[in-house]
Amino acid sequence: MSPKKLTILFAPVEGMGRVNACVGLAERLRERGHRIVFAVDASYRGKLVGFGFEEEIIEFSATKKSSDAELDPQESQSLIESRAQVLLRSGILSAKSSREKLEILSGDGFLTRIVDKVIANEPILKNIIARVRPDLYILDHLVGPPSIIFSDKPWVFILSANPLSGIHDTRTPPNFSGYAASGDQSLWPEFRERADNAFAHHNQYYNRWLKANGYPTIDNNLCIPESPHLNLYGFPEELDYTDIRPNPKNWYRMDSFMRSDDHQELKLPDSFHLKGQKLIYLSLGSMASVDIQLMSRLVAILAKSPHKYIVSKGVLGHQYSLADNMWGEKSVPQTRVLPIVDLVITHGGNNTIYEAFSFGKPMIIMPLFADQFNNAQRVHEKGFGLRLDPYNCFAEELLNSIDKLLNDTDLKHRTAESGPQLVFVIEKSFAGKLLPFGFIEEVFASEEENMGKPGESEAKSLLETGLLSNVTSYKSAEIMMTFPVFEMLVDRMRANEPQLKAIIVKHNPDVYIIDDFAGSPTLIHSTKPWVFLFSGNPLFVIHDDRTPPGSSGYSSNGDPNEWKEFKELFKNMFKNQSIKYNKWMKEEGFPINTENKAISDSPYLNIYGYPEELDYLDLRPLPEKWLRVDAFMRRGEKQDKSQHKFIVSKGLFGDTYELADNMWGE
């Protein structure tokens, strides 16, 4: 039985980092087939539908509904800039210490404004809940809306900040302090008491309103309790504090809430593509970059560097200029930038920390406020980067730190190995095509000088066989039996096997994932688990008398007696390949395959991608160890579309024919 498809309502506090974290988690849930709805304020109107989510806009104006057009760009910019100015005027963006900034955070009315907004929004949120009827709520918030946290439906709290912000333990440094885990612990109690009580008066203020409106109160000196159901935080395992204390009950760590790119293009100047030069990313976050004096100071220092810089300029980016060795915009697509840079200079926001970590990039952390101090210290003390004071560091100190990290080969290896690593073993024709996704490439060396385009030799063989012609599916299957490419695949695999063994020794993988017509004995007879991934119609690999034969095109409600002859033919489709493969296995001392094919089902896990609505689960259940996912859809190759026109994927030989006037393609 398929899992129930849920309606999940995300209700993040306004703030780019919080919303982005929710987007990252929501994408994973959407891929599992769940309906995702975001309840957000008007400044996010239109920004989430592109990810496949529904938007419910929380706003006060009776003249605007959630179905209205987007905010005017100038209006949206004004709203963002006004929030930034509040932050700037507070004094939080200054050279003050973490202790002084804690006093500012607790006393400037920042959280009071959020409490007031949650109270004012409660009737609107109730109406949204009545319309959407969620099965589950997910909150990344500083204040818990009562219609969610006191609901009879389960809710999940996600923490998109340093884990010390949500998990309080006397064995770890105080929240917001930036103190070293191995430092002088005599400094901790006073700061911890201040941090624990920093928002006590906000808690009292909110509790008075909750009590007056018949709700239970919150007793943790904050304005949101832990969820009794599930609490999640995103933080790299290598940086976490579980070496000091275990996680509490109902708390779970994820490596990250990393989102996919937001389809924003990244067009760098030609001078940024020069081979051999170092590329560095500078970002102080969407809000912190409003300190124009600070940004100008850093630009002036980095202008003396020989390296190139990609700069996320921030909402007030139009108020200052970049140096000649820099390129930037108010906002850049961070998840597209990170794979191509050598180093990241950041304020230490949680999203940037785990995204940079996921791509294996060393960091210089320049913390400004709140949990950024803890993030900076943790990266520094764990040896994945350096912590510097953005306001007081000397120019020479910053420039030397950059060169130190860029030239630290040991750090490069450790950052590259941090987090889960995805290694693709590929032919020469695919070289360079997977690096932009953040993957490691291991390319088989080949005696052939010109491998051509990916799949070109196989495509030519297809043309020569007559498969791509007006033949029946039965005749097509007969041709497939004599198709030499499958035997060639065995020969190529055997020739590459010594290289594959060396690659495995180099990376020592924990698991193998195979999408191939033959199983490398080094992989499938290893002591490590392996997953068989099939990217075709499931009938090709899951055979059952209740379903039509694979590759037949026969109707599911047709006469099963007409299927038998084709099924028999299909069983022998890979017989010649199997004979050649088994001969190799015997010579190497491995078991042979008795199923007339060169790869068996994995004893661990077999996965195929196919929409549930099209699958054959209405005819037969899945065999043991088989799992369906909706799709293996990749990201990052979105192309422009034009209404009432045709976009054509022309294929490997697209240069041999022309498109009509109403078509475009490559």
Among all chains, which residue has been given the structure tokens 């032919």?
Answer: 427
Of the options 3.10.20.600, 3.90.550.10, 3.40.50.2000, 3.40.50.300, the CATH number for the domain spanning 7-160+198-228: 3.40.50.2000
Per-residue tokens: 443: 């390319």
Q: How many other CB atoms are found less than 10 A from the CB of residue 85?
A: 13
Q: How does pLDDT run across 236-271, given as a tens digit for each residue?
A: 999 999 999 999 999 999 988 888 765 667 888 888
Q: Which residues of 580-598 are buried (b: 16+ CB within 10 A; e: fewer)?
A: bbbebbeeeeeeebeebbb
Most confident of 15-19, 61-65, 467-471: 15-19
Domain ranges, ordered by start, for the chain: 7-160+198-228, 270-417, 455-628
Taking only the tens place, the pLDDT of each residue in 536-547 is: 999 999 999 999
Helix ranges restricted to H, 139-278: 146-149, 188-197, 200-212
Q: Which residue has the higher pLDDT, 370 or 266?
A: 370
Q: Has residue 302 got a pLDDT over 80?
A: yes
Rounded to 5 degrees, what angle do the CA atoms 617, 612, 557 make? 45
* Residue closest to 332 by CA, chosen among 264, 244, 379: 264
Q: pLDDT tens digits, residue range 596-651?
A: 888 889 999 999 999 989 999 999 999 999 999 988 877 654 444 444 578 888 77
Mean pLDDT is lowest, of 216-225, 242-251, 377-386, 474-483, for: 474-483
- Of 118, 41, 106, 111, the closest CA to residue 80 belongs to 41
Q: How confident is the model at residue 64 (pLDDT cuts 50, 70, 90)?
A: very low
**Mean pLDDT score of the chain, rounded to an integer?**
86
Let me know: does 172 contact 244? Beta carbons within 8 Å.
Answer: yes
Report pLDDT for 642: 43
* pLDDT over threshold 50, residue 321: yes
Between 272 and 604, name the one with better pLDDT.
Answer: 604
| pLDDT band at 80; cut points 50, 70, 90 | low
pLDDT at 476: 81
* Rounded Cα distance, 398 and 206, in Å: 44
* Exposure string over 165-188, b if 16+ CB within 10 A, otherwise e: bbbbeeebbbbbbbbebeeeeeeb
pTM here is 0.71
Tell how many helices (H) and how many strands (E) occur in the chain. Answer: 19, 21
Q: Which helix (H) or strand (E) holds 606?
A: strand 605-609
Tell me, what's the pLDDT at 512?
A: 95
Region 78-82: mean pLDDT is 64
Structure tokens at 116: 């007031």
3-class DSSP state for residue 159?
strand
Confidence check: pLDDT of 67 > 70: no
56 DSSP β-pair partners: 39
Longest alpha-carbon distance in the chain? 83
Burial track 5-44 (b if 16+ CB lie within 10 A, e otherwise): eeebbbbbbbbbbbbbbbbbbbbebbeeebbbbbbbbbbb
Architecture of the domain defined by 270-417:
3-Layer(aba) Sandwich (3.40)
What whole-number distance in Å separates Cα of residue 665 and Cα of residue 164? Answer: 52
